Chain A
């Protein structure tokens, strides 16, 4: 579905991604972990064509998206959620939802299926939500459009373990419904991620050092920890 080939990424004169290669199949749920500054966020941004300059080739459903402007990539069905959640301060939850939905009407019942307590949040400004609520709302936005691939940057950062579980369950549910998901996580979340995802990748210093199924990864756990924490 998504393939990344020989990807090099730069911020100004600084190279942040080094020859990254991987493939994502339809229905995958993937976690990419790594320490701070390993290039995880840059990887997602380069897929979305945000900010950095890049070399290499990225295709999505057979279409070359390397040079497409961000909004066109989004329109192909890739939904990106930055680590902040990307909600607009000053806009209400509903307005944030509407923004993602565009001219489509918002199907509240569908939202309730995934997250029953949504009603209470709809008319509150996004900056008045708790950290967990923000993360949830930001994910819920993805089901308002025909999302095929969901890119999440540290969806559980700064969130309590209970909410982390809740978020992962929600993601799993979306994955079961057929959405392909790539989650980027800090090293400390490795264990939580391993419980839900099917494939795991490890980044270090701008390189994708490891990429395999969870089963395999569980066997290589020591290696993974080494890659992440050293």
Chain B
């Protein structure tokens, strides 16, 4: 049996998984620390995409555009936290959810007013246009870059969380915000910081995909839904779990395309629901 098709599907799955991970990481951080389920995450993602496009159109500089897109998405995250989320922290979960949902609606439409209704994309950087060819499928260097960035982000986040005071404080707020306050940690600052990081990560994900996936209003929805599934399966609040599950979901859904093209999403939802029924806290979550 020729295994090449499976190898290429696994490769593609790893690349897709890395994208899910970049989004899931922001969701996990925001949910874990701030305890807000952020429906507006796609907003930051799409903002990153459009900013990438806009800056690239003006400067033609890939790295600069990527940096600016990430920072602007992060800044939007901060604005959002300060203007809206801060007012709903103390309310019931449902109001937080709806607030993020409302923001998502508003931004989706607002983006259309600014960037129009069509799709935009930018070319892949010159140096990364080619790729490795396996069995007729080109494994593009740019896709490999996304996988590497995903892995690097994982290493950086784990090192940051375990080896810096700020990381320690974030973990502390994650577990017990009240006690952290009593120890002199400003949870408000941490919340804002986490929103910045989460939104910036989503923006980075959005910016990175512009050369590969065309961007239009609302196009990130499916990606975000999958990232949510990842976070839920992994357990709300587990960083390592989110990485592992992102990659697994990427690879699994990619292989399902090959073997049961009919049923890929159904199977994914079924697996997610099955895991939830057995372990509502998710595979890596604590109760």
Contacts and interface: CB of A to CB of B under 8 A. Distances in A.
Given A88-B176, A89-B175, A95 B168 contact: yes
A88 B171 contact: yes
B172 interface: yes
Contacts of B180: 71, 99
Interface stretch (B34-42, B53-61, B183-191): B183-191
B286 to A, nearest CB: 8
B35 to A, nearest CB: 15
A50 interface: yes
A70 B176 contact: no
Contact of B185 (A51, A71, A141): A71
Interface residues of A, number: 25
A103 B171 contact: no
Interface stretch (A29-37, A74-82, A116-124, A204-212): A74-82
Contact of B165 (A80, A89, A90, A98): A98
A186 interface: no
Given A71-B181, A102-B184, A145-B184, A91 B165 contact: no
B187 A99 contact: no
A74 B171 CA distance: 19
Contact of A103 (B165, B181, B183): B165
Name the residue in A50, A82, A88 with the highest tally of chain B Cβ atoms < 10 Å from its Cβ: A88
Given A69-B186, A70-B181, A74-B183, A91 B172 contact: yes
B168 A74 contact: no
Contacts of B185: 71, 99
B181 A74 contact: yes
Nearest to B190: A71
Interface of B: 165, 168-169, 171-172, 175-176, 178-188
A72 B184 CA distance: 6
A48 interface: yes
A86 interface: yes
25 contacts: A48-B182, A50-B178, A50-B182, A51-B178, A69-B186, A69-B188, A70-B182, A71-B182, A71-B184, A72-B186, A74-B183, A82-B178, A86-B183, A88-B172, A88-B176, A90-B175, A91-B171, A91-B172, A91-B175, A98-B165, A98-B168, A99-B169, A99-B183, A103-B165, A141-B183
Nearest to B162: A95
A103 B164 CA distance: 10
A111 interface: no
Interface in A5-30: none
Contacts of B168: 91, 95, 98-99
A26 to B, nearest CB: 21
Nearest to B177: A70
Given A91-B171, A99-B168, A99-B169, A86 B184 contact: no
Given A88-B179, A102-B165, A75 B184 contact: yes
B182 A80 contact: yes
Interface string A130-150: 000000000001000100000
- Closest 9 pairs (CB-CB, A-B): A70-B181, A74-B184, A86-B179, A80-B182, A71-B186, A71-B181, A75-B184, A88-B175, A99-B172
A100 interface: yes
